[in-house]
Structure 1
Amino acid sequence: MPPKKPNKTLVDESTATAAADYTAPDDPIPTAISLVSDSPSTTKHMRSTRSTSTPKSVGYESPLKKLRKTMGQHTPRKIIDTIDSLRNFIKDTDVGNKQIRDSIRIQARLLWFAPETIGEYHFLRLYLGEQQAPEPLRQQQREFQAAQRDDPFETNQYLITLSLYEVSPDDPHLPAPGSVISFSPTKLSIYRNCCQVNAKLSAITIINEP
């Protein structure tokens, strides 16, 4: 037996009744969605945290730590303060090696200085005596200068001749005669048993003023 077809009239009436009983709601109110952004202080804190929390590489050493390590390994410079010890140092070491020259500081008393020109080169010669010498400055100046006029090479064996290139005698940075000075040389040599030294004026430190 074929299935019964639904009564169309009953369906339509049921639908109509449901539609009649339905009450449409008022227009729905959309739900407000607030987008909360970070405050400036919060954003700044987050950026600061990100910038300061950079992960360190394994085995990393900062430049400051490297400097401390290097400075801790430095050997103090040798102080040479007598003419004989300077002469022996020049004879016994490779003074053409910058590292060897930089390993010492010469300490002596400035007695006087005088300009000298050789060809187109202008020098200021500083004549240095030993800082421990007991004679007064004026006596050393008088006797050494008199002996230098008679025999400069013989006299200069008992002095250190320091040459400054292109420095004027009135340069305000020059130490005064009688000062005890200290410096690292840029060149060292012995000529006829005389200690001859080159240096830069900027490298001279005044230990004691007269």
Structure 2
Amino acid sequence: MALLAEAFALGGVQHGALPRLASKPGQAAHELPERGSPTTLAAVATAVAAGVVAKRRSAKTRAAVAMRGEEESAPLREKMEKVQAGDRFVGWVKHPVLTTRQKFDLVVEVGPGDDKGAWKITDPNKRLQAGKSYEGPCKVIAEEGDSIIFRDEDTVLNGTLNGAGPGTISGRAMQGGLKWGGFFEVAREAD
């Protein structure tokens, strides 16, 4: 409520206004209405207050859903030390060229060995060429520390273990030498 009161108080404040003069050549100058008038500020304050009320309502709704039971909550994941054969990760990838700046579904499977795998990238909304998808083998390169790389001849996913929380891999997506603007995030599927 303090935010609401402050917003309306700001809308009602009269500032020392300087008149804005407008004239055309050969005509007398006349005053124009002031920008940022109290009525304009009051409308903005109302919109801000409505947004605050909507956010509070949605937070209450989220709390009610959380209290319904544990079956609706996401399973807790364990922190990963390394990836190994048999691991399957599901998430998204976003890249300016590969996915035309849209989030596509990404599935990465490790195996048959710890250094090999396969991935699949699909358009979840079927916007491009009847659900364009990419899939094929990839190399899995575990680097020092928490770094992991999934790569084929054109695409590189350079990630960090537990980057977006326990049991996840997140990082940069690079394709065809384009190293900026690409991101990915995957989470290990439960056994």
- Alignment TM-score, normalising by the size of structure 1: 0.25
- Alignment TM-score, normalising by the size of structure 2: 0.27
Greater RCO, CA 8 A, separation 6+: 1
Which protein has the bigger strand share? 2
